[in-house]
């Protein structure tokens, strides 16, 4: 039943001041495209969670960065450079009144 334990870390002390949830749509709906995207995301430390989802897009990501400028670099230099990415929609977290991940 128990698959692991987690330490709950203070984002501010880690230098994380910016969190966003992103939906990502791929330009091709194939296993090859999904695997290539997942390999690229696995190398990105900014991506704290990656979920393959149903609906209009293929993925939901939780991304953490030090600030908006760092997020913009990730958005442009990492996501923008993955050939399988067709669409990106960012939802910036302003507050988290309830978070039970820990």
When computed from its CA atoms, the radius of gyration of the chain, rounded to whole angstroms, is 14
Better pLDDT: 6 or 80: 80
* pLDDT category of residue 3 using cuts at 50, 70 and 90: confident
Please count the structural domains in the chain: 1
DSSP E strands in 4-102: the ranges are 18-26, 47-52, 59-65, 85-92
Q: What CA–CA distances, in Å, run from 84 to 34, 98, 99?
A: 8, 33, 31
> Residue 81 sits in which domain range?
28-92
Model pTM score: 0.89
> Is the model's pLDDT at 56 over the cut of 90?
yes
* pLDDT category of residue 15 using cuts at 50, 70 and 90: confident
Better pLDDT: 14 or 25: 25
Q: What is the CATH number of the domain that holds 68?
A: 3.30.70.920
Structural domain includes residue 8: no
Structural domain includes residue 20: no
Structural domain includes residue 71: yes
Structural domain includes residue 2: no
């Amino acid at each position: 039943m128990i698959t692991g334990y987690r330490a709950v870390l203070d984002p501010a002390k880690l230098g994380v001041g910016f969190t966003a949830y992103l939906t990502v749509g791929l330009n091709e709906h194939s296993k090859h495209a999904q695997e290539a995207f997942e390999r690229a995301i696995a190398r990105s430390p900014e991506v704290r969670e990656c979920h393959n989802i149903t609906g209009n897009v293929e993925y939901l990501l939780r991304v953490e960065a030090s600030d908006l400028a760092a997020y913009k670099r990730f958005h442009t230099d990492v996501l923008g450079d993955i050939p399988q990415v067709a669409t990106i929609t960012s939802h910036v977290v302003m507050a988290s009144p309830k978070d039970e991940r820990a």
